[in-house]
Amino acid sequence: MAVKVTFQDISKAFGETRALERINLTVPPGDLFFLLGPSGCGKTTLLRTLAGFVSPDSGRILFDNDDISPLPPHQRDTGMVFQSYALWPHLSVAQNVAFGLEMRKVSRRETRTRVAEALDIVKMSHRANHKPGQLSGGQQQRVALARALVIRPRCLLLDEPLSNLDAKLRLDMRTEIRRICKEAGLTSLYVTHDQKEALSIADRIAIMHDGHIVQEGTPLEVYRAPASTFVANFMGEVNVLTAHVARISDGVVALDTCLGRLLSTFPVAPSRLHGTVQVGIRPEAIRVETAPEGSNVLEGMLQESVYLGEVAQHQFQIGGTTLKVFELNPKRMASVGTLSAKAWVAQEDVMVLPT
């Protein structure tokens, strides 16, 4: 049965470096939950405190209502998948998967049954007698997953499991990892710095920065409603402008920017709507087609365009400001340099962010 994981006031320092600062986080049962952030933000340290490899300076970790903080790693019932796979090269696939069960003194009959089940769920039964050196990177990662699953953990931990794979394999393995986690019915915590990886398969995401969780929510929430300029920038391309709040009326905020006046219906706390604010506009939210009534029209010069097949990346020069614009499924490419152009952005896509 899937377990709820709770971090309560977890802090950890390495000398003068504060790796984790009073982390409070609840992972719902059965979720594929991502810890996402730049290098050095604390995400791997938090995962390792859950595994028992790092002892926090304060706080505790619960599985449902059980405090697992005092337990050594082998008593926590967690399965760990590393980015390096860590497979024994001299053992077969089946022997690698069985290793954890042998250490737990599970009977040979049950071991054979559980190894077969684990290899079946990762679709590697046909490779049971092969050595790791005979497998591709993606196949080795499947074996590492089977080895973690076979012990029937209460929680599955994945530490950048796709970082050693090429781009095509990473794409294929994303959906496979989600399928495997859901079929196994496990609560899973997944560490990565890859935003697309997190957006594509996570149930929920916690964004970390300098040892703190700065936002937690669904992929849609953290991308479309970032809680800060840092989150907006980290989750993808964004045009950031400084703006002055000119007027608020019926849920519409009028903002004076270097692009002119923009209207926004982005949901934001009224306490943040005064004086100077930051405005974020995603490049794909800016359209280069005829503007519907009530939208924010932008007029400028098309400075540069790059055709990438499914998307064209433009740079619009408006006054002294350059905007990135992503045109999806472009049908034609316009001339650049001297072309006066119009674009528009919907009011709901003008994000008001804390300064």
Please list, in sequence order, all residues whose beta carbon lies within 8 angstroms of the beta carbon of residue 244, skipping any fewer than 6 positions away.
255, 256, 257, 275, 276, 277
Q: Could you tell me where the beta strands, DSSP code E, fall in the chain?
A: 5-14, 17-27, 32-36, 58-63, 66-67, 78-81, 155-159, 187-192, 204-209, 212-217, 239-249, 252-257, 260-264, 276-281, 286-287, 296-307, 311-318, 321-328, 340-345, 351-353
Q: 33, 203 in Cβ contact below 8 A?
A: yes
Of 172, 272, 282, nearest to 223 by C-alpha is 282
How far is Cα 272 from Cα 295, in angstroms, rounded to an integer?
A: 23
Q: Does 337 score more than 70 pLDDT? A: no
Q: 192, 34 in Cβ contact below 8 A?
A: yes
Domain at 5-229, CATH from 3.30.70.920, 3.40.190.10, 2.120.10.80, 3.40.50.300: 3.40.50.300
Question: Domain residue spans in the chain?
Answer: 5-229, 237-353
Q: pLDDT tens for residues 195-231?
A: 999 999 999 999 999 999 999 999 999 999 999 999 9
The residue with greater pLDDT, 226 or 340, is 226
User: Can you give the pTM of this predicted structure?
Assistant: 0.88
* pLDDT given at position 355: 63
How far lies 274's CA from each of 227, 245, 255, in Å? 17, 6, 10
**pLDDT confidence bin for 94, thresholds 50/70/90:** very high
Q: 211, 49 in Cβ contact below 8 A?
A: no
Q: Look over the chain and give the mean of its residue pLDDT values, rounded to a whole number.
A: 90
Structure tokens at 37: 């952030």
**Range in 183-187, 211-215, 216-220, 335-339 with the lowest mean pLDDT:** 335-339
Torsion angle of alpha carbons 87, 93, 98, 99, nearest 10°? -30
Residues 242-251, mean pLDDT to the nearest whole number: 90
Q: Does 174 score more than 70 pLDDT? A: yes
Structure tokens at 283: 């490049």
Which SS3 state, helix, strand or coil, does residue 75 take? helix
Domain at 237-353, CATH from 3.40.1410.10, 2.40.50.100, 1.10.286.10, 3.10.20.70: 2.40.50.100
